[in-house]
Amino acid sequence: MTTNVWTPQSLVEHALATSTADACVAIARDTTDANLRWANNTLTTNGVMHNLGVTVISVVHTGDGVATGSMSGSATTQAQVTALVEAADAAARAGSPAEDAHALAGGEAAADWDDAPPPTDIHVFDTFAPALGEAFGCAGAEGRVLYGFVSHSHTTTYLGTSTGLRLRHVQPTGHYGCTGKDTSLTRSAWVGGATRDFSDVDAVTMDQTLAQRLGWAERQVDLPAGRYDTILPPTAVADLMIDAYWYAGARTAHEGQSVYSKRGGGTRIGEQVARQGVTLFSDPAHPGLECTPFVTAGTSDNEQSVFDNGLPLGRTDWIADGTLRSLIQTRHSAGLTGQPVTPYVDNLVLSVDGGTGSIDDLVADTERGLLLTCMWYIREVDPQSLLLTGLTRDGVYLVENGEITGAVNNFRWNESPVDLLTRFSHASETVPSFSREWGDDSFSRTATPALRVPDFNMSSVSQAM
């Protein structure tokens, strides 16, 4: 017995043809995914996964306004899609008027609409995997223990609307990360990064870098809590800037509930929030960080609207030359705030005018300070200032007269990323970076400089190793 397996495009067409609502958006996402995980110099778990999901958003004009229904599900057959459509239509008919109602984006079919989704599979690791085996051997022989993870996925999105729009986007997402410890588990180091296809990731190099960084910890120094001249590598800057971005919703700012709110009402758009020369932007076409160039939204909330599905996205400056320029908008919040429509984009770049050289140059220039590897467990403590708390981890190195002279204990820090953008003293050039905190599952497309902060608040000592 065989059952037809329908293409994602045909499922979108079927949804739009079946809906009896006044308007409809149908989004199909085909995802393939492969991963390898290791610990204690051996592979632990692994996986390959295929998923095809469809979201149907039905729009119905009622007496009082416009209502919607949103239904999503794994759907590989027409029958499954029909069930989603019927449920979405019914939910819209029973729904209350939506405050964010706008006409759906119109348009036509993109040139690549008929192209199939390109899959990834376990073979994306064909070069990496044997090198990893070699790295296990090397590490074991030299007294290192490796723990890590690699992941690669392809998600192809097909978005169609009853207003004629047909858009397709292929999104590769990949990342690697490896922690190395010595056998006494008293020293720890980490390397990691984002990659689009694993052609640029070598496990032996990964292990060698870890060996070098573990070597920096030969001399161990205990330091107390306090404010330190600290070099944040691009990965840590990515961690911090992602939170500065995620909390940059226009509606919450406008309604007096964020660091971007102006006391007395409204947003701080137009005010200086960072040093001159600082630009924080997103751009779906940014080379190496390419992401979906149109809005996709399965539900409406403060920062997204189902009515905005299919709206084109372009370069958006959140902060330009130190001035707050935009906050995350829907057409609804743009109306509330009187600002342009600047929806969320799935990448982020921080650049600093005059930021030159590499992190090594920042180190060479530092008389006495700390060089971090990365951060962890970052959470918002106080929305007034966007004060965050977090930890350092896997290598805090002491810099003396431009050289790394040893390793220091870990710390818990309390800092605001917005405030840091006014206090840093030096910046390197912007490079592709990977947020350890958010990169795995939530946000892996960033480019940031390293930043040196003269008075970084290491609030308490963490004895974690």
Residues 319-378 touching another protein, rule: CB under 8 A, are 376-378
138 touches another protein by CB under 8 A: no
* 63: Cβ contacts below 8 Å, ≥ 6 apart: none
Q: Which of 5, 64, 141, 287 binds another protein (CB under 8 A)?
A: 5
Amino acid at site 431: V
| Closer CB to another protein, 301 or 403, in the complex | 301
| Min separation Cβ 378 and another protein, Å | 7
Give me the 400-419 binding string for another protein, x by CB under 8 A, dash otherwise.
----------x-x-xxx--x
Q: Which of 183, 205, 220, 460 binds another protein (CB under 8 A)?
A: 460
141 touches another protein by CB under 8 A: no
Q: Which of 17, 49, 103, 285 binds another protein (CB under 8 A)?
A: 49
**Segment near another protein (CB under 8 A); pick from 38-46, 234-242, 319-327, 425-433:** 38-46
* 197: Cβ contacts below 8 Å, ≥ 6 apart: 124, 152, 172, 174
185 touches another protein by CB under 8 A: yes
- Is the distance from CB of 280 to CB of 439 less than 8 angstroms? no
288-317 positions binding another protein, by CB under 8 A: 298-302, 306
CA 381 – CA 406 distance, rounded (Å): 31
Q: What is residue 232's DSSP assignment?
A: E
Give the three-state DSSP class for 261: strand
| Min separation Cβ 261 and another protein, Å | 7
**Segment near another protein (CB under 8 A); pick from 11-19, 122-130, 315-323, 347-355:** 122-130
**Segment near another protein (CB under 8 A); pick from 238-246, 271-279, 353-361, 380-388:** 380-388
Which pair of tokens denotes residue 284? Answer: 């779906």
| Min separation Cβ 169 and another protein, Å | 21
Beta bridge partners of 319: 280, 324
**How far does CA 98 lie from the centroid of its chain?**
29
Q: Which of 9, 19, 70, 448 binds another protein (CB under 8 A)?
A: 70
Buried/exposed 37-60: b ≥16 CB within 10 Å, e otherwise: ebeebeeeeeeeeeebbbbbbbbb
Beta bridge partners of 392: 375
CA-based angle 244:147:215, to the nearest 5? Answer: 90
232-271 positions binding another protein, by CB under 8 A: 255-257, 261, 263-264
- Is the distance from CB of 237 to CB of 432 less than 8 angstroms? no
463 touches another protein by CB under 8 A: yes
